[in-house]
Structure 1
Amino acid sequence: MATEAIVAMESNFLVPNGTFFVELFAFAIMVWLLAKFVIPPINKAMTARQEAIRQQFADLDQAKSEAHEAEEEFRSQIADARHEAARIREEAREQGAAIIAEMREQAQAEAQRIVEHAHTQIEADRKAAVTSLRNEVGTLATTLAGRIVGEALDDEARQSRVVDRFLADLDSKSGAN
């Protein structure tokens, strides 16, 4: 029975044996080594990685806000450029209208000058024609009067009086009609 008690003691699984303590001691050393040398660098790397991700998100948010500001500034500049272009077009239209009006006035003044010059030229031509016609009519009248009267009217003074009387008669007849 004593051997049975010893065998029963050895087979009792609730009582730890020596290998259990060695395995427990080796496990504790492994946990301590992992906790001392392996886990801190892993934690440090994970913390650094999380901080880098947070920084990237912060940079992304900042870049996004800067992009929105740049977009708003761009839109503002485009709107200003459109307003400026519209203003320049309006000024060009006004200047074009002013130039057209000025050219029209110059053309009208030139046309008026040409018409006045033409009237002056016509009046001078008419006077020259009247003078030439008077001389020719006077010559014809004195020749005709000389034939009718039967004597030559070579005297200049007499010729001039006859021509003037004849033309005055013509003027009075044409004025009466």
Structure 2
Amino acid sequence: MGPLKPNLIELIVGLITFSVVFAALAKVLLPRIDRTLAEREEITSGRLEQAEAIQREAQHIRTEYQAELSAARHEASRIRQAAHEEGLALLAAVRTEGQKVREEMVAAAGVQLEADRVIAEAELREHILGLATELAGRIIGEPLTDLDRARAVADEFFAGTEAGTEADTRG
């Protein structure tokens, strides 16, 4: 018997066995395989959709974050600019106050200097009057006791000296 002429009984038994196995596979096993593949496909596509949704949400959150970051940078820049301007204004105010205090100090020092000059001039006149009176007493040979008269003569002398000095500075 060979491959071209098979044994009829073996052929029939083989076909029946093949049909039973094929029917069992088609009725029981293939639907289970199809169902498992469908479930896997559903899970895979569901996860793919979830992944796409998560990716869209992440992109949305990233866009919001970048917008907030940009707004925060803009706000920080505005705050820095305001602080800089406030610092310049404060510096100008401090300078103005310093100039005012300096001018007040210069004016007070000028007044104090003038007062000290007047006091020194009065003390110097008294001292010069005392020396002049003593010198005049030595020249005359007796002490001069009329201080009022000596004072009037000294005041007249100083007034004439001051008038001459003022005339020299004008001319």
TM-score by length of 1: 0.81
2:27 corresponds to 1:33: no
Q: Which amino acid aligns with 2:124?
A: L
Residue in 2 aligned with 1:160? 151
- CA drift of 1:17 comes to 4.4
Which of 29, 45, 61 aligns to 1:70? It is 61
- CA drift of 1:23 comes to 3.1
- CA drift of 1:141 comes to 2.9
Distance 1:175 1:30 in 2: 145
2:53 corresponds to 1:46: no
Residue in 2 aligned with 1:61? 52
Q: Is the 8 A contact 1:143 1:153 kept in 2?
A: yes
2:125 corresponds to 1:134: yes
Residue in 2 aligned with 1:173? 164
- CA drift of 1:131 comes to 0.3
- CA drift of 1:150 comes to 6.0
Q: Which amino acid aligns with 1:126?
A: R
Structure 2: which 5+ residue stretches go unaligned? none
Q: What percentage of aligned pairs have identical amino acids? A: 34
Counterparts of 1:72-87 in structure 2, within 5 Å, are 72-87=63-78
- CA drift of 1:29 comes to 1.6
2:82 corresponds to 1:99: no
TM-score by length of 2: 0.83
Q: Is the 8 A contact 1:142 1:163 kept in 2?
A: no
- CA drift of 1:146 comes to 4.1
Distance 2:46 2:57 in 1: 16
- CA drift of 1:25 comes to 2.6
Instruction: Summarize deviations over 1:96-145 as a string: whole Å, max 9, x none.
Output: 11221122122112211221221121011101111011102222333344
Per mean C-alpha deviation after superposition, the further-off stretch among 146-155 and 102-111 is: 146-155
2:108 corresponds to 1:117: yes
Q: Which amino acid aligns with 2:74?
A: H
- CA drift of 1:165 comes to 1.5
Report how many aligned residue pairs link the two structures. 164
Structure 1: which 5+ residue stretches go unaligned? 1-12
Distance 1:60 1:139 in 2: 114
Higher relative contact order (CA 8 A, sep 6+): 1
Distance 1:72 1:156 in 2: 102
2:29 corresponds to 1:23: no
RMSD: 2.3
The 3-state SS of whatever aligns with 2:145 is coil
Q: Is the 8 A contact 1:142 1:162 kept in 2?
A: no
